[in-house]
Structure 1
Amino acid sequence: MKEKIISTCIKCFEQKGFSETSIQDVVDELGVTKGTFYYYFSSKEQVLMTIHRKYIDTLLEQQESIILDSTLTNKGKLQGLIHMLITNIKPQGNSARVFFREFRHLKESHLEEVREKRDQVRLAMEIVIKTGMEQGEFRPDLEPDIVTLGILGACNWSYQWYQPEGHFMDTEVADIFLDMICKGIETK
């Protein structure tokens, strides 16, 4: 039931927004009582934080395996990170939209935790770009923090428009992004 509550909240938060979704909306959708909701969660905000943790922790686990893969070049790691972000749209698209849109509704202690984890995602990519610059894989004149934010902005916004059942597969979209990005940062 706990997972059903989470998935129903994701659906409701995505459709109506966190503020506009009431616990009554959630339990009505599930066909249960408020008591059932409160057995598993103390508040709507607790469910929102659960959604945030689940989403970002999944990315951090995947990111770690890419970063620690010593067989990959920096370009290969960047490719893996971009693929990770784009290929998570199909299994986690609804959670991602809630993650990015409803972040502001978390209480301060939860905001702090999520910000730290978001920073881990950003800093790992920035380190890959800096290392790639130092090792001659990427242009030496880049601003790695700005390049990182640009890549993350492009990838994260794709949750708003990418349709997994559309014309392009997620891996194709990731390859298009990678080509677009690397043509601008690879050495000649």
Structure 2
Amino acid sequence: MGLPAKLCHNIARPACDVFINHRTADTRRTVVRLLYDHLVQQRCKPFLDAETMKPGDRLLDTIGKAIRGCKVGVAVFSPRYCDSYFCLHELSLLVESKKWIVPIFYDVKPSQLRVKESAILSCSHNDLKKFNFAVEEAKSIVGLPFDSSKDDWSELVSEASNAVMSKLNEEISG
């Protein structure tokens, strides 16, 4: 089920419909790439750093604009997610912008997600506070658990994509 024609052909369409937040080293070659490709096939416009950003783009500016313009965020939490300043920064922007978030708990339980001050040495106290708040907010959202050693990849991608498309269709008709 693709997006309705009125969204797909809208000239004022945002840079992306869905922002995919993830730790590249943990998930890009697996669930994130599969989800990105599946959303594109659904005529959705996802933002994935490696696919969307071009040489010369200002990293934080481009990401901030994409998050502000998107309708839905997908946060793919992995065991080392909270070690990344960029992951936490993006998540905090999604939460601050009050975006609808689909959490995927990839080889990690929500209760295991913690911001470790020692892992993010260059952070200000204010950033740490925002990051902790964003992680706690995300942990309180019903998400999709996934164990890469036993769960089905295609089922996860379908469930995540269906959740995203349902919300986007709701936004269009609402």
Q: Would you call these one fold, judging by a TM-score over 0.5? A: no
Higher strand proportion (structure 1 or 2): 2
| TM-score under structure 1 length normalisation | 0.29
Higher helix proportion (structure 1 or 2): 1
| TM-score under structure 2 length normalisation | 0.30
Higher radius of gyration, 1 or 2: 1
